[in-house]
Structure 1
Amino acid sequence: MVCWPAWTGWFSCASPWWVTIRRRWVLPWPASSWTNAEEERCWRESGRRECPPRVTVYLVGAGPGDPGLLTVRGAEVLARADVVVHDRLADPYLLRLAPARADRVDVGKSPGAPVAQDDINALLVARARAGQAVVRLKGGDPFVFGRGGEEAQALLDAGVDFEVVPGVTAAVGVPAYAGVPLTHRGLSAAFTVVTGHSRHAVDHEVDWEALAKVGGTVVVLMGVAHRADIARRLMAGGLADTTPVLAVRWGTRSAQLSMRTTLADLGVAALEPPATIVIGAVASLDLSWFERRPLLGRKVVVTRSSGQAPALVDRLRARGAEAVELAVIEIGEPADGGQALRAAAARAGTYDWVVFTSANAVTRLVGLLRDGRDLGSAKLAAIGPGTLAALAERCLVADLAPERFVAEALLDDFPAPDGAGRRVLLPRAAVAREVLPERLRDLGWEVDVVEAYRTGLPRPSAGALAAVAGADAVAFTSASTVTGFLEVAGINRMPPVVACIGPVTAAAARDAGVRVDVVAEDHTLDGLVAALVSALANSCRWPAT
């Protein structure tokens, strides 16, 4: 154990990295520039064995909107952040990459309500000096009209270590998502990125007439409010009034909406921020790919628990949808604190069969085993691809898995016992259908039903509930998600389209008075998404607002 008095005034202790991380010959913290002479002396005299890791502020570019455009380095530093200072356009999905314990500070700058940059700079310095790892999460790239240079200068002046993690700027990412290359042989050999954010910038900081004479592509960021003046001055500089213009609102997001016009009509075009404006011959090209996705512009409510939601969220995003996460169930400990489950795990090898009906049951039971040897000669049965995947992650293979992912299908294939005293272990949720244990007992099996987990009701935020009100569809993956939604949101917030993963879930919804619009033919997450595509792709879609 190594202890040191941190510069915050508190006395800190920690185990040396070489004790806690075996077979990893890496530096425990960056070995570049020093914060102060005392720290440098500590490292030099102690051989790096008794010095605290230096805290760094990371200026991270989050990209233009699609969370998939975050860099690997950005994800790495988010994963170990103590505090995330983020803009208003930061996707909630990115904020989830930070540890649950991390403080999330919204310093969002919205049009008409600016946050003082000096206050943000002071916040970064204060949090770093308090001994916290700080991630400043900024839209696009921090050094492209992101005022990241000002924040870096403030940190440098304060003697605070920092690192810049570049991001995909909207100037490049948004046109690409709209199918317009900024350079194209025969059309444009160069591009210029300018800001039209302020009246002063438009009038005094950019020579628009000279820019018109340079040629190539002009990309205007934050220029919606002054687009008429920008167009007028570019035409005064020699650009033809018929010059193609592409304006993309909410670029790289599910709500992306592209509008094409000409320079002459840009000033009167119906356009609202945030938008990226591309001016030049390349704007006549239409190499669309993102806007061809079948669920683009659709909002789908995902009702799974927070730990299981990403698997469905990722599938929906891949098809263009915006996933509205509303966790209506949370996985908790059994009523007895897990005592019965631990006892069952200790004797797991004495059973003839262990039957898993969910991935949660696999996680709970197998997590108590040393490894697969504790199962002895017991055979495994599993319902559903998620359950099979959970077993596979633990190097276990089911001996029986029905093609249809319902208990009735498993029972059709389940063998009868070959003698008396044959036993089945069934770890499952506290509330579940009784058809499986009852029918197994009818076959002659002795069945031990063990509560592996309970599903509870979380308390969603007012913002999460408000997002549900504008959704196009809701996806239910189990009977408990139906019950949970009705409890936390109410039937009046039910979106127009209700999709269920299978017949059991659909029956639970109908029993609760919910109209079911579509049931997945393949009772998997992929099947559920396919059902949503079928239900939503050809219906009317209003432009994003």
Structure 2
Amino acid sequence: MGRVALVGAGPGDPELLTLRGLRLVRAADVVVTDALVDRRVLAEVRPAVAVHDVGKRAGAPFSQAAINELLIDLARGHELVVRLKGGDPFLFGRGGEELEALLAAGVAVEVVPGVPSATAAADLVGVPLTHRGVADGFCVITGHRHGDASLDYDWRALVASGLTLVVLMGAASRATIAKELMGAGAPGETPVAVVTRASWIDEEVRWTSLAALGSVPVASPSTIIIGGVVDPRRRWRPSLPLGGLRIVVTRPRAVADALAVRLRDLGAVVVASPAIEIGPPSDGGAALAAALSHIEDYDWLVLTSQNAVDRVVGGIGDLRRLGGVRIAAIGPATARALERVHLTADLIPGTWVGEGLVEVFGPGPGSVLIARARQARDVVPRGLEAKGWRVDVVEAYETRTAAASVPPELVESADLVVFTAPSTVEGFATQYPGLVPRAAAAIGPVTEEALVRRGWPVALTATHYDADGLVEVIREAREAGRLVPRSEAP
């Protein structure tokens, strides 16, 4: 018999997971998830691990008894079952019921607290649930009771308490809640914030009043915050350089983190949506292995990406074999990948594209080995051959379109989609046929050309063709008012 971990997944953003929760998600042998768990959290699950979606959706309910039985069955066949629940497992998450069922069946259980959606939604929009002189505490209630029972709270006691009122699952009953509170003496002008899908890329916040709450369009899941602490002047996201921007990053998941982290640190809401994935060479690595078997015979080794560095270094073995071979790297990211394995590039062009390398490369004769992706431009080999070099081109890896991991409606809601290679443009177009990004950012002119060929709006092109250059140009555009979040558009 294995064990089950009831893990609070927080409001959505995987960076709001606890360290313990993240460690368990990555170690899970099987995962059972709710509908309110963000796909970015599920992306942390190992690829071969099965994910059971038992979300309770309108028209397709998954009974609690069935969920309990599923957890018990999975624990019999797996060492670690992770039950992911949005927010905190015990705050309107029925985690208590699952805990009781598992313990009764003799299953070992661990409960990992999560950041509750009630507090997270308030924090993210700048609403302090308690504030000196305004509210000495808060109360969290549900707007949807078991079996559709009536909301027979002591409304007068709630109003008289002076506490901030937080309503979860109250989108459908908001008009009733407002009517009951006003009938119990709450002023109609009491401020209200409605936060929908807090911390997700399509998060929305509406600032209204208790009297108007019933007529404000509200979608689920939403957190309704009622009380004098609600004040839009405390919004903190606009104070950050990229605050309010929703950005989709299309790089392969293995290399997207550094770019995504920098954008998040500047205040953007970022979703990794890999348009391509990196795989082994189509020939199984035969051509690369054959070339590396006599690497000492080449005068130059040209590497065009971090992925090429990884594949080549892994195939060489004793790096002392490169003692008489000079190395050229297109761009600082490739050069840094070489440094990580204690190699130094002899040549890095000032312009980080193939044309830049050809321009600074000296004349032949001699021999050059170029290790690159299967699909790549022929600018470098043709340019070096024209300079008198004998050039061998081998496939170090293959890029292919990844399966779409983000729903198209979330991609459409983004303010900016970032593309880091022509292959990411083509992969995105394959994943989302007919979908045109609201605005696109290109890592350099070659990627920009791929976007232009498709007729997509190119808002930004980096002048330094790496992650730092992309962040810089996005930040400059935001500061200059040329990149405006959809939430702030007129």
Q: TM-score with structure 2 length normalisation?
A: 0.87
- Bigger drift between 211-220 and 301-310 goes to 301-310
Letter of the structure 2 residue corresponding to residue 286 of structure 1 = R
1:441 aligns with 2:389: no
* Counterpart residue number, 2:51: 104
1:541 aligns with 2:483: no
Q: 1:88 to 1:130 in 2, by over 3 A?
A: same
* Counterpart residue number, 2:151: 203
- Bigger drift between 506-515 and 431-440 goes to 506-515
1:228 aligns with 2:175: yes
Task: Indicate which of 446, 451, 458 corresponds to 1:504.
Answer: 446
Q: 1:293 to 1:207 in 2, by over 3 A?
A: same
Whether the aligned pair in 1 keeps the contact of 2:273 and 2:404 (CA below 8 Å) is: no
**Residues 360-388 of structure 1 deviation map (CA, whole Å, 9 limit, x = unaligned):** 11121112233643422433221124323
* Counterpart residue number, 2:313: 366
Q: CA deviation at 1:464?
A: 4.6
* Counterpart residue number, 1:189: 136
* Counterpart residue number, 1:93: 40
Name the CA distance, whole Å, in 2 between partners of 1:350 and 1:106.
55
1:121 aligns with 2:63: no
Letter of the structure 2 residue corresponding to residue 203 of structure 1 = L
Whether the aligned pair in 2 keeps the contact of 1:301 and 1:326 (CA below 8 Å) is: no
Name the CA distance, whole Å, in 2 between partners of 1:392 and 1:485.
31
* Counterpart residue number, 1:51: none
Higher relative contact order (CA 8 A, sep 6+): 2
Structure 1: 5+ residue stretches without partners = 1-53
1:354 aligns with 2:301: yes
* Counterpart residue number, 2:223: 276
Letter of the structure 2 residue corresponding to residue 245 of structure 1 = V
Task: Indicate which of 447, 463, 478 corresponds to 2:421.
Answer: 478
* Counterpart residue number, 1:525: 467
Q: What do you get for the CA RMSD once the two structures are aligned?
A: 3.1
Aligned to 2:352, what secondary structure does the other structure show?
coil
* Aligned residue runs from structure 1 range 101-500, under 5 A: 101-111=48-58, 113-198=60-145, 203-204=151-152, 206-284=153-231, 286-290=233-237, 302-314=249-261, 319-321=267-269, 323=271, 325=273, 327=275, 329-370=276-317, 372-416=319-363, 422-458=366-402, 460=404, 464=407, 473-487=416-430, 489-490=432-433, 492-500=434-442
Aligned to 2:173, what secondary structure does the other structure show?
helix
Name the CA distance, whole Å, in 2 between partners of 1:71 and 1:163.
14
Whether the aligned pair in 2 keeps the contact of 1:317 and 1:323 (CA below 8 Å) is: no
Aligned to 2:195, what secondary structure does the other structure show?
strand
Structure 2: 5+ residue stretches without partners = none
Name the CA distance, whole Å, in 2 between partners of 1:494 and 1:214.
51
Q: 1:234 to 1:494 in 2, by over 3 A?
A: closer
Whether the aligned pair in 2 keeps the contact of 1:300 and 1:474 (CA below 8 Å) is: yes
Q: CA deviation at 1:227?
A: 2.3
Whether the aligned pair in 1 keeps the contact of 2:369 and 2:394 (CA below 8 Å) is: yes
Aligned to 1:286, what secondary structure does the other structure show?
helix
Whether the aligned pair in 2 keeps the contact of 1:295 and 1:537 (CA below 8 Å) is: no
- Bigger drift between 128-137 and 514-523 goes to 514-523
Q: 1:471 to 1:210 in 2, by over 3 A?
A: closer
Q: 1:323 to 1:229 in 2, by over 3 A?
A: same
Q: 1:484 to 1:189 in 2, by over 3 A?
A: closer
- Bigger drift between 430-439 and 308-317 goes to 308-317
Letter of the structure 1 residue corresponding to residue 271 of structure 2 = A
Aligned to 2:72, what secondary structure does the other structure show?
helix
Q: CA deviation at 1:65?
A: 1.7
Larger radius of gyration: 1
**Identity %, equivalent residues:** 46
Whether the aligned pair in 2 keeps the contact of 1:326 and 1:464 (CA below 8 Å) is: no
Whether the aligned pair in 1 keeps the contact of 2:274 and 2:402 (CA below 8 Å) is: no
Q: 1:299 to 1:187 in 2, by over 3 A?
A: closer
